[in-house]
A and B are shown apart, each in its own frame.
Chain A
Amino acid sequence: MSQKRNDGQASPARERLLVVCPGRGTYNATEWGTLSRVAGGSDWLAGFDAMRQQAGMPTLSELDGQTPFRQSLHGRGEHASPLIYACAWADLLAIDHERYEVVAVTGNSMGWYIALAAAGALAPDEAFHLIGTMGLMMQETLAGGQVLYPWVDEAWRPDWALRQELLALIGQIHGTQGAELHLSIDLGGMLVFGGNEAGLASLSERLPPREQFPLRLYQHAAFHTPLQAGVREAARRKLSAKPFRAPNVPLVDGRGHIWTPWSTDAEQLWDYTLGEQLVAPYDFTTALKVGVREFAPDRIVIPGPGATLGGASAQALIQLGWRGWQDKASFQADQQQEPSLLCMGIEAQRSRVVRQTAG
């Protein structure tokens, strides 16, 4: 999908896009049916389904269609991850490259694996295999969990003192009475904590209730923390570096490091993906900062399913002062006028970027 993007002969009319791939938690009851809508009948989906069948698992088409949505089923790693990937992949394929040039790709958490595919660092099937394998391993081990808590105010303005206080809790709780607690994801205006049950319980007790927060993320493990050390070792045994290659378009990882089409060492890309990425905090905010500042996109596109990453992205962009956004209101006002942040899970925004003939 991205082979044509760096021909250097870009028409000046093409807008520059930063693609931000979504992570876990984006395929929920309301997204059920999305895949059939955006990719039904496609050859590649048939191929994915065949791979699932071969592995003795329900196909994505079944999960997205015949099988009524149940969080306990669809939310499981081995199902949720491939469903999210497939939905995102459908959206990525639908982007109109006559009008848009993807100048960089990034993602959040599991979205990193999708970003690898989006940038061409993994072939679609290889990415599907990796995503399915990792989803299953995460589900089988379910080492720890995640808790989400905001550090911005209602208007999405950063409260840096609160952020410091929240981060300080990690040091206060970790290591006491069997508690393990780490930063898992720096997610725009929210922090995702990862830890074991004792750590998360202790954290939740100390966090003042605020709307639905602290929010425990159902069926999520303590991703991007040392609790995944076992998964890392197993993954490195199961998944070889062979399918990895240099991307066709620059890729920004969960540290904000840029992997370019020209200087990427595929072995190192594998090493990061199945190494540091699994056990160290995923800094989505920095990834977005690097994407925005170093590639100067005209718009940011978040493939589906859903649009939940849109809020976190907007919060991160407000922190950067991107487009002059100072808070939620100025972001929303701009979006009303001429949206710069496009969530393909929202049909009106999706229709702006897809090929006119795409359905």
Chain B
Amino acid sequence: MLEPLPQEQRFFSALRSGDWPRPERAWQLDEVELSPAALAELFETQLMSRHLDLHARRLQARGEAFYTIGSAGHEGNAAIARAFRHTDPAFLHYRDAAFLLQRSRSVPGQTPLWDLLLSFAASADDPISGGRHKVLGSKALNVPPQTSTIASHLPKAVGAAYSFGLWRRLGGDGGEWPIDSVAICSFGDASFNHSTAQGALNAAGWAAYQGTPMPLVMVCEDNGIGISTPTPSGWIEASMRSRPGFHYLACDGLDLLDTWRAAREAERIARRRKQPVFLHMRCVRLYGHAGSDAQQAYLSPARIKADEARDPLLVTAGLLQRHGVLDADAIERLYRSIAERVAHVAEQAIRRPKLETAGQVMASIVPAARPGRQRAWQGEVETPPAPMAKLLNQALKRLMESYPHLVMAGEDVGRKGGVYGVTQRLQAQFGPHRVIDTLLDEQSILGLGIGLGQNGLVPILEIQFLAYLHNAEDQLRGEAATLSFFSNGQYTNPMVVRIAGLGYQKGFGGHFHNDNAIAVLRDIPGLLVACPSNGADAVGLLQEAVRLADEEQRVVVVIEPIALYHTRDLHQEGDQQWCFSDPGPEHRLALGQLGQWGDGRELAIVTYGNGVYLSRQAAAKLEEEGVALRIIDLRWLTAIDHEALYRQVAECEQVLVVDECRRSGSPSEELITALLERGMPGDRLHRLTAEESFIPLGRAATVTLPSVQNIVERARWLVTPAEQNERGVASVSKVVAGSDGA
């Protein structure tokens, strides 16, 4: 028989003495409309959750489990699970195993103990993450996996809640979840303080305050402490009781009857009135923060003892006896039966296969393709040459017509038509539900997109300026990009993020409107980044980005160079050489497809975005001087086809990478490395990058960036015979160390 752990002594002692703690309120079962069998079922769920926690510690001691953060003390959320439909998407706190276990009861055929123990053991058979993390999730139960410890899953819950009304407006049922669903998300009292949580609360309240449907229940599981830092007494209630747009409900999470009562009320409000509810569930944290946390280091013995006396399992056992549902013998049999069951299932689960190779681990970074939903476009393409902003606007209009489930969202994208007019007139044509003017919060914009994408829509989000991405970047890095990975490809959040960015704006700017830092986007597994240099390519990249999102379920960022939005001329005023004809709806620039201008062999300039434009201007001067060159436009800044690039530059005597981003962390580093790796000698490889600086205001705005003059000078130097300058002895490191003026 399984040897009880020290943590279980209190339960056995209460069993012997019959001294079960009483809840604050003395609800009767019929008062809260809960049957005796249902109360017993909730207790079973609580016990399963608890025994999983306890057994995880035994397994970890044996080296068979790897993550012991548990749900002990929070098991009252089983009653919350019972109050909702299993088709209501639930974005769960990591202490919500009881929620998942209880929900599994509403879908016959589930094997939650087996599944969770596979997850503990990081087995490749784990049905949700395939052995990639101990997560609470299930496709069948509509619980997308979350690994978040910082409430970064809350913005997408707001997005999901918004998506139901949107699908209703679109007249469709094409989403992952029914249109009368309620989104549920849960989090702790410590992560309540995180700016992401506050942003999500604000976004939900902001929307509801102006009458936007927001069927959302945000469950704050308040155990009063964040690892070692206490939550100020009354802080959560004081913060939320009068929050505009929200209904505030509170319950005693130690008491299943009170929790059930409040959860049903929350469900009713959210579903019927489509308004957000903040459900404040008071509970207790037992056994420390995680298996490795020795809470006696920061909590007094008296406090630990007092917490143990508030164990919700003890409270439920008392309820069962007082309401005549189960006697002490039955409670003990049940307790032991589940303990034995968990232990035996664990012995089977830990023998299941683990992930072994990098290929197996990475198999779900990129999700599977699905049938596209594009409709044939019947319109007529406007062909007069136009600058990038105009062509993007035409392409967006066409995309909105071709993809009925495509929606746009961002600050000022609607009425104003975007800061640079790229989305002009789209809201008037497609309505404010498809062209959404959001609040000014990039986390919420990206979270909205994740929620919409997860529910079958294809969002195109706009971030006004690249610098504004950075405070919200985790929504892409930690959330959007990881969803397929941690769900073994079962959940996806395809989307396109348009970001106006990069430098060279004339007469407007400073750093925050001219930011040239994109490194943060380029090291995220699976995330794709495109950057057009001209209007025709912008259309091709945007249309491909939408196809990638719709058919291949990818997350694609398109960085649109602000300085080129309205640029018409290339060499001289009025030449209109940077205006292009709309290439039409079928024009798509596939991942890795490079652009090339010229075929000279003396010099290859490899560049993107503004660099292409500047290099074209430089090329005119260089050609006058007899330099034979070519310009390679990367177009895609991730998943670069280095083999193709090598083929396109190998025959050139010199290669110059012109990169408008900084020397550190810019694509130039990868490009030089990849060409070296393919055998190109280091003395033929050179970089011209931006300085390690922020962007200043006024006339100095471009002095830290590559310029036409820089490019011309560097090119001249490179094509001068080696014996006439010092290049003949230059090493790669020496060349790399120098940029402009080296």
Chain A: number of interface residues, binned into ranges: 20 to 34
Q: Is there contact, CB below 8 Å, between A262 and B332? A: no
Distance of A345 Cα from B113 Cα, bound (Å): 32
Contact call A257/B111, Cβ cutoff below 8 A: no
Given A7-B333, A294-B114, A296-B348, the answer on whether A262 and B109 have CB atoms closer than 8 Å is no
* Most chain A Cβ neighbours within 10 Å, of B35, B44, B105, B341: B341
Complex Cα distance A9/B2, Å? 10
Residues of A within 8 A of B113 (CB): 293-294
* Selected A-B contacts with CB under 8 Å, 5 pairs: A8-B335, A11-B1, A260-B44, A262-B334, A296-B345
Report the minimum CB–CB distance from B555 to chain A (whole Å): 30
Q: How many A-B residue pairs have CB under 8 A?
A: 76
CA A6 – CA B335 in complex, angstroms?
11
Tell me the B643-693 residues at the A interface (CB within 8 Å): none
Instruction: Check: B268 CB closer than 8 A to any chain A CB.
Output: no
Across the interface, do B44 and A263 meet the contact criterion of CB distance under 8 Å?
A: yes
Question: Which of B38, B43, B330, B345 lies in contact with A294, CB distance below 8 A?
Answer: B345
Asked if A296 and B344 make an inter-chain contact with CB atoms under 8 angstroms apart, the answer reads: yes
Distance from B125 Cβ to chain A, minimum over Cβ atoms (Å) = 8
Out of B111, B330, B344, name the residue touching A262 (CB < 8 Å): B330
**Docked complex Cα distance between A121 and B225 (Å):** 46
Bound-state CA distance A9–B339 (Å) is 12
Near A by CB (< 8 A), chain B positions 43-58 give 43-44
Residues of A within 8 A of B335 (CB): 8
- Check if B345 sits within 8 Å of A263, measured CB to CB: no
Closest A-B pairs by Cβ, 4 of them:
A256-B109, A8-B336, A255-B108, A263-B41
Interchain CB contact (< 8 A) of B111 among A11, A16, A283, A293: A293
> Assuming A8-B337, A11-B1, A290-B109, what are 11 further A-B pairs, CB within 8 angstroms?
A8-B335, A8-B336, A253-B108, A260-B44, A262-B40, A262-B41, A263-B43, A265-B35, A294-B111, A294-B112, A294-B345
**At the interface, yes or no: B37 with Cβ under 8 Å from chain A?**
yes
Instruction: Choose one: A6, A264, A265, A295; the contact of B345 (CB below 8 Å).
Output: A295
A294–B341 touching, CB < 8 Å:
yes
Interface residues of B (CB under 8 A from A): 1, 35, 37-38, 40-41, 43-44, 105, 108-114, 326, 330, 332-337, 340-341, 344-345, 347-348
B105 / chain A contacts, CB cutoff of 8 Å: 257
Decide if A8 touches B114 in the complex (CB within 8 Å): no
Tell me the smallest distance from the CB of B83 to a CB of chain A, in Å: 17
Give the residues from 248 to 280 in chain A that come closer than 8 angstroms, CB to CB, to chain B: 253, 255-257, 260-265, 268
A residues 114-167 in Cβ contact with B at 8 Å:
none
Task: Choose among B108, B111, B114, B345 the residue with the greatest number of A CB atoms under 10 Å from its CB.
Answer: B108
Q: A263-B41, A265-B37 are in contact. Are A290 and B333 (CB under 8 A)?
A: no
Q: How far is the CA of A296 from the CA of B346 in the complex (A)?
A: 9
Verify A263–B1 contact, CB threshold 8 A.
no
Query: Quick one: which of A103, A264, A289 contacts B37, CB cutoff 8 A?
Result: A264
Cα separation A10 to B339 with both chains bound (whole Å)? 12
List B contacts of A10 (CB < 8 A). 1, 340
Chain A 275-302 against B: per-residue CB contact (8 Å), 1 yes, 0 no?
0000000010010011001111000000
Residue on A nearest B36 in the bound complex, by CB: A265
Contacts of B345 in A (CB 8 A): 293-296
Complex CA distance for A262 and B338, rounded to whole angstroms: 11
Specify which chain A residues have a CB less than 8 angstroms from the CB of B114 in the assembled complex.
293-294
Q: Are B333 and A6 in contact (CB under 8 A)?
A: yes
CB distance from B427 to the nearest CB of A (A): 42
Contacts of A286 in B (CB 8 A): 108-109
Query: Who on chain A is nearest to B342 by CB?
Result: A296
Instruction: Give the residues from 1 to 55 in chain A that come closer than 8 angstroms, CB to CB, to chain B.
Output: 6-12, 16
Residue of A nearest to B114 (CB): A293
Q: In the assembled complex, which residues on chain A have CB atoms less than 8 Å from the CB atom of B333?
A: 6-8, 261
Q: A94 CA to B511 CA in the complex, in Å?
A: 84
8 Å CB interface, A235-258 against B: 253, 255-257
Q: A293-B111, A293-B114 are in contact. Are A9 and B344 (CB under 8 A)?
A: no
Q: Nearest-CB distance from B702 to chain A (Å)?
A: 60
Residues of A with C-beta under 8 A to B332: 8
Known contacts A7-B333, A260-B44, A265-B37, A295 near B341 by CB under 8 Å: yes
With the chains together, A7 CA to B329 CA distance in Å? 9
Query: Distance (Å) between the CB of A216 and the closest chain B CB?
Result: 29
**Nearest Cβ on chain A to B179's Cβ, whole angstroms:** 25
Q: How long is the Cα–Cα vector from A181 to B334 in the complex, in angstroms? A: 43
Give every chain A residue within 8 A of B35 (Cβ-Cβ): 265
Q: How far is the CA of A260 from the CA of B341 in the complex (A)?
A: 13
**CB closest residue in chain A, given B109:** A256
Instruction: State the Cβ distance, A340 to closest chain B Cβ, in Å.
Output: 12
Cβ distance B347 to chain A, nearest Cβ, rounded Å: 7
Q: Is the CB of A289 within 8 A of B326?
A: no
**Contact of A6 with B111 in the complex, beta carbons under 8 Å:** no
